[in-house]
Amino acid sequence: MDVRLPATLFSSIFLFVLLNVSHVESARRLTSGGAFHWYNGLFVFGDSFADTGNFPKSNLSEVTRQWYKPYGISHGFLGDPTGRFSNSYVQSDFIAKILGRSQAPQTFRDTKGSYSDHFGVNFAVGGAGVFEVPRKAPTQAMQIDSFKKMVDAGDIIRKWQLEQSVALVAVSGNDYARVAKMSNDTEILVFIGNVTDEMAKGVQRLQKLGVTKILVNTLHPLGCTPWQARPSNYTKCMGRGNMAAELHNGDLEQKLNATNSNSSVYLLDLSKAFTNIIDPSDPHDVPEVAKKFKEKLKPCCKSFDPNGYCGQVDEDGGDQYSVCSDPEDHFFWDDVHPTHAGWEAVMKQLEQGLKDFLHITY
């Protein structure tokens, strides 16, 4: 039977499909294997744990190393660096996968060109903090300012997307670099309170702008990064950094609980997920998730100079770093960032709780 639609009706249907294509794509990917909850967008804020290429590429340096080899040498990028601080994917990519996407949404930097992904935007920038840091990366508040401008403009981020949307706030401790210069505990405690205050304010701003579900990272054990473990030849963690992280996490949880009684905010416990792998409480009862890693504190990519960085070269272009033969054996990629396998192991631990919070079943 040949059914011909009036031209006006056909145009209306076509326009509806066009405007909702990313919405449909997200839902379709979540339908296989069971029920799903429909989310219209993922919006990412924070630093290098979530950045997928926002920091502009320029000449090789410590702050631009993510755009140069050996970054991005593994998995789906054909060995080409993508601006991620890893050998492949980072945390925001794994969050996106749980939402049914193949990887994190396009970067804010990409929206200034030909922008095609209307599922969401990644505003995270490597080196950022809630306060201004030496790299001059946009702070959490500045990133949310950019988000607000896009919401108000309504061309890339449409307001209907916010009705069922998810935000990731990945603040990973760049602000605490200045703690090393603080001489007394009172000063440190006050500064921790200032950091968590700003994080809580950022969450409230996102809620007021209309984001319905917000994921907030706890701070991982800072004293267990290769940067801190190198003096011990990667055999033990440094307690002072872990203590600061614990104080931060307790204060952050208290403040978010006090301002969010409607269960729209979920703490992603990176502290526990990292610790289960790199510093389990009982060394004689190692969790299954940790057993795959032969090296838990030693990075895959290690600079020759203790003050150098992964990817560093000398004046003649000679490598000033070494790369392990199998990144899958290492939890850490460089001096502070997990490998793809590391992030996969962390997010595997957090996945079920995250799905329960987002009402995703598949």
User: Angle at Cα 52 formed by Cα 306 and Cα 203, nearest 5°?
Assistant: 100
Instruction: Please tell me the distance from the alpha carbon of residue 205 to that of residue 226, in angstroms, as a whole number.
Output: 34
What are the catalytic residues?
A: 48, 334, 337
Task: From residue 202, give the alpha-carbon distance in Å to each of 108, 123, 129, 198, 205.
Answer: 18, 13, 12, 6, 5
Task: From residue 350, give the alpha-carbon distance in Å to each of 100, 278, 346.
Answer: 16, 16, 7
Please report how many Cα atoms fall inside a 13 Å half-sphere around the Cα of residue 98, on the Cβ side: 24
Q: Tell me which H or E stretch contains 117.
A: none
Strand segments, DSSP code E, in 115-270 are 120-122, 165-170, 213-217, 265-268
Instruction: Please tell me the distance from the alpha carbon of residue 320 to that of residue 330, in angstroms, as a whole number.
Output: 20
